[in-house]
């Protein structure tokens, strides 16, 4: 019995020893596991922070094209949350029909040929520049990552610059054409009256009026393209109004429009030519757009001179555009008239007031 008990005790101790060793190993393993887990967590957080801080959109997908990562910038561009797009197919989120149901390989292939896409995010057009690469796990394909940036603003600026460049070129061209027309036109203006032998007065008058109109267009174009200096002089409102009327005389005479005027008499100081081109351009538009009546009123208001031109025409519904150079709704318009008015009023340090009602008419007031 003693012998048996001894053997049992030895065996028990052996088991106890082994179990102690096992316990120790387990504790060691646990510690190692904890360290590894900690390291893994730190790595995960590090990666997450990189993805969060990066200024590009990053979207990773699994082998079948389903989204696994959608970083903060990507969410910003798409105005969404990662939770909302995770697990959805990239084709659906990027709204690219050809990509729906496609694998990571095919997605990468697609973005190799299409490095720029346009999409609409909550009604706003966005332009993205993208690149995509396959992700490998020990030589085996394991999804793909798509990196993109929002280039909408850059593209818009580029477009605007191109537009400006085009405008500058057209402006230079217009100026040189206007310049070339000016000289022969001056000769014609001198020679035409000589044709009148007493019987052709009406024809000659008509030609002279047309020449006046061409001259106006040429002067406007030149005024628009060159920098003008402010040259003030003293003059009477009455004389000035007469000069203005003379400039549009042909237009009044050739139409059925009733032209009413009320001119207060006073002296004023301003750049007469600049002011004239502003008032004439507004008046010419009024005569073009009026149905039956145009009125031209000149009066004083708070020590300023007001030139008020009203018509009973169609009214203006694109007020924000009409001052842009080359913007016109007329078949033969230059679209320079109001651009010149705006520039002239600015140089004159004046104000431009507009009241317009669709179908009823328009009133412009130049206040200097």
Ligand X SMILES: Nc1ncnc2c1ncn2[C@@H]1O[C@H](COP(=O)(O)OP(=O)(O)O)[C@@H](O)[C@H]1O
* Helix (DSSP H) and strand (DSSP E) numbers for the chain: 11, 12
DSSP secondary structure, 243-284, as one string:
HHHHHTHHHHHTS--EEEEEE---EEEE-HHHHHHHHHHHHH
Would you give the binding string for Mg ion spanning residues 256-295, x where CB under 5 A is met? -----------------------------x----------
Going edge to edge, which strands form the sheet with 67-70?
67-70, 57-61, 140-150, 124-137, 116-121
Shortest CB 368 distance to ligand X, Å: 19
> Nearest approach, Cβ of 321 to ligand X (angstroms)?
8
Rounded CA-CA distance 79/73 in Å is 9
Indicate whether 333 belongs to the interface with ligand X (CB under 6 A): yes
Q: Which residues contact 133 (CB under 8 A, 6 or more apart)?
A: 108, 144, 145
Which stretch, 57-65, 257-265, 332-340, 357-365, contacts Mg ion (CB under 5 A)?
332-340
Min dist. Cβ of residue 304 to ligand X (A): 22
Q: Which part of the chain contacts ligand X (CB under 6 A), choosing from 32-40, 48-56, 132-140, 312-320?
A: 312-320
Q: Is 343 in the site for Mg ion (CB under 5 A)?
A: no
Q: Is the dihedral of CA 153, 156, 160, 166 positive or negative?
A: positive
Residue matched to tokens 């561009």: 77
CB of 333 to Mg ion, least distance (A): 6
Give the binding range for ligand X (CB under 6 A) out of 5-13, 64-72, 186-194, 333-341. Answer: 333-341
- Residue 289 interacting partner from Mg ion, ligand X, none (CB closer than 5 to 8 Å by kind): ligand X
Asked if residue 337 binds Mg ion (CB under 5 A), the reply is: yes
Q: Is the Cβ–Cβ distance between 119 and 128 less than 8 Å?
A: yes
148: exposed, middle or buried (Cβ count in 10 Å: 0-12, 13-18, 19+): buried
Return the residue of 132, 178, 338, 344 that touches ligand X, per CB under 6 A: 338
313 binds Mg ion (CB under 5 A): no
178 binds ligand X (CB under 6 A): no
Q: Judge whether 367 and 304 are in contact, CB under 8 Å.
A: yes
For residue 329, state whether it binds ligand X (rule: CB under 6 A): yes
Q: Binding-site residue total for ligand X (CB under 6 A)?
A: 21
Q: Is 322 in the site for ligand X (CB under 6 A)?
A: yes
Toward ligand X, which CB reaches closer, 91 or 350? 350
Please choose, out of 5-13, 101-109, 255-263, 313-321, the segment that lies near ligand X by the rule CB under 6 A: 313-321
On whether the CB atoms of residues 59 and 146 are closer than 8 A, the answer is yes
Query: Which positions lie near Mg ion, rule CB under 5 A?
Result: 285, 337
């Amino acid at each position: 019995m003693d012998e048996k008990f001894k053997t049992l005790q030895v065996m028990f101790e052996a088991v106890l020893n082994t179990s102690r060793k096992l316990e120790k190993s387990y504790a060691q393993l646990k510690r190692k596991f904890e360290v590894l887990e900690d390291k893994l967590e730190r790595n995960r957080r590090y990666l997450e922070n990189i993805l969060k801080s990066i200024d590009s959109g990053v979207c990773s997908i699994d082998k079948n094209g389903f989204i696994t990562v959608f970083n903060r910038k990507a969410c910003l561009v798409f105005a969404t949350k990662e939770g909302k797009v995770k697990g959805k197919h990239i084709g659906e989120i990027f709204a690219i029909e050809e990509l729906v149901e496609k694998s990571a390989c095919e997605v990468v292939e697609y973005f190799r040929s299409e490095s720029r896409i346009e999409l609409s995010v909550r009604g706003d057009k966005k332009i993205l520049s993208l690149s995509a690469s396959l992700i490998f796990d020990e030589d085996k394909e394991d999804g793909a990552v798509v990196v993109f940036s929002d280039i909408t603003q850059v593209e818009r600026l580029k477009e605007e610059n191109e537009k400006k460049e085009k405008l500058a070129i057209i402006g230079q061209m217009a100026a040189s054409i206007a310049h070339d027309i000016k000289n022969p036109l001056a000769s014609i203006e001198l020679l035409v009256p000589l044709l009148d032998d007493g019987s052709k007065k009406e024809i000659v008058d008509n030609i002279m009026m047309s020449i006046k109109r061409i001259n106006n267009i040429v002067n406007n174009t030149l005024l628009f393209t060159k920098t003008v200096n402010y040259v003030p002089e003293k003059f009477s409102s009455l004389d000035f109004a007469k000069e203005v009327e003379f400039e549009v005389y042909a237009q009044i005479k050739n139409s059925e429009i009733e032209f009413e005027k009320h001119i207060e008499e006073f002296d004023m100081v301003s750049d007469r030519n600049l002011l004239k081109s502003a008032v004439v351009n507004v008046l010419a538009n009024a005569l073009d757009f009026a149905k039956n009546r145009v009125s031209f009123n000149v009066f004083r208001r708070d020590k300023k001179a007001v030139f008020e031109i009203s018509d009973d025409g169609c009214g203006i519904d694109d007020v924000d555009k009409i001052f842009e150079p080359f913007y016109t709704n007329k078949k033969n318009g230059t679209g320079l008239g109001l651009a010149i008015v705006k520039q002239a009023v600015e140089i004159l340090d004046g104000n431009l007031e507009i009241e317009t009602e669709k179908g009823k008419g328009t009133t412009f007031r130049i206040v200097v």
